[in-house]
């Protein structure tokens, strides 16, 4: 393959990556819209931010999904831990804001 063909092939692959990354970002944005709603629901009902049994369910499910794809299980679990960590942080923030609003309304 000539170097000019290599560059064209690389550019084509990178266009695919850019499209997939946009899809990832918009799906993640929708995921956080949903987890923010959960955060508010939990704050309103005094439920804890983290839920170990739910997390266990998610990781069992992820392991099955990893088996169906060519993804490394460890990589996928670490990626999900990173996302869930951000979710819990936001839940705590939503709960603090909710409590502050409640106490100022009294």
Site of interaction with its own copies (CB under 8 A): 1, 3, 6, 9-10, 13-14, 16-18, 20-35, 37-38, 41, 44-45, 47, 54, 58, 61-62, 65-66, 69-72, 75-76, 78-80, 82-83, 86
Nearest distance in Å: CB 81, its own copies: 10
d(CA 39, CA 97): 11
Residue 49 DSSP class: S
Nearest distance in Å: CB 70, its own copies: 6
d(CA 37, CA 17): 30
Q: Is 20 helix (H, G, I), strand (E, B) or coil?
A: helix
Q: Compare residues 6 and 99 and give the one whose CB is closer to its own copies.
A: 6
Whether the Cβ atoms of residue 91 and residue 38 lie closer than 8 Å to each other = yes
């Amino acid at each position: 393959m000539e170097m000019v063909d290599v560059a064209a092939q690389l550019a084509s692959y990178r266009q695919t990556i850019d499209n997939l990354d946009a899809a990832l970002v918009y799906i993640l944005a929708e995921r956080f819209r949903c987890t923010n709603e959960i955060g508010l629901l939990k704050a309103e009902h005094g439920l804890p931010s983290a839920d170990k049994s739910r997390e266990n369910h998610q990781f069992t499910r992820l392991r099955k999904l990893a088996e169906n794809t060519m993804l490394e299980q460890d990589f996928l679990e670490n990626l999900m831990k990173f996302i869930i960590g951000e979710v819990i942080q936001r839940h705590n923030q939503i709960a603090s804001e909710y409590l502050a609003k409640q106490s100022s309304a009294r």
